[in-house]
Chains A and B, each alone.
Chain A
Amino acid sequence: MDLILEGIKKAFWLLVSLDPEVLGITLLSIKVSGSATLISLFIGISVGASVALTRFPGRRIVVSLINTGMALPPVVVGLFVTISLWRNGPLGFMGILYTPLAMIVAQTVIATPIVTGITLAAVQQLPAKLRLQILALGATRLQMLWILIKEAKLSLLAAVMAGFGGVISEVGASIMVGGNIKGYSRVLTTATVMETGRGNFDVAIALSIILLLLAYLINLVLTQVQQRERRR
């Protein structure tokens, strides 16, 4: 119990003293996970909406793959991204392994199926005749897609929350592709693992509390937006 209280005190102190290392780790966490979420939103919404709106042979297999991808283990992603970015790997020429960019790539791979799956479900849930109505209003295919995405915005906010939640909290892939390099590729989760391993539980708890607070604040903002939309 003392350990937890000590951790909370330490977290409070690290926060109010604006500890440069913690601040850097937190900012990098936001930068990496925020970028990965944004990229996954772009890919996931486009792919999810397209799959929801089109019929093609093997569609069920694609939907099953997307749904399976929603439970993709971060360590598996970390492994394959590492192999891909390894010096002799297919993308080794990019030379980005053990950089924040590699972490963004790995986290994008984790978040994209989540966003795709939720978008797919959200667009499929819209009334089937809504597409006809939008086209009947004179919309182009692109305008129709945009209107449908706007109609599914409440569910898409859930996709943002799930996607961000999935990547801000993952550790396996970030450690494997980022290397947890101090001041360069260390994020809240990887730092927590490291401090726990060192027996620095107070620091680990402090970092965990910051991570929880960060996840909570971002979800609070998104929930506010979502509920305001719901009430409108």
Chain B
Amino acid sequence: MRVRFFASYAEAFGREEMSLELRAGASVADCVAALQADPAALRLPPSPLVAVNQRYARPETPLAEGDEVALIPPVAGG
């Protein structure tokens, strides 16, 4: 599945997206755990905000093939 990064997280990871292979039935928490294996993840908070298919998700939200996951840094719009 496709994981997108933005703003300070894109800078931390040095890229705006990556592909991740997760086992069937994986959750958002599993996805975050897989990302935290990357050294760039030291600059992430322990529980970053995550969106799945453009909607805020929870750690237990299940993921499916073809989902778009995004790590959302603290927002500052308006």
Specify whether A and B are partners.
no
Where the two chains meet, the residues of A that have a C-beta atom closer than 8 Å to any C-beta of B are none
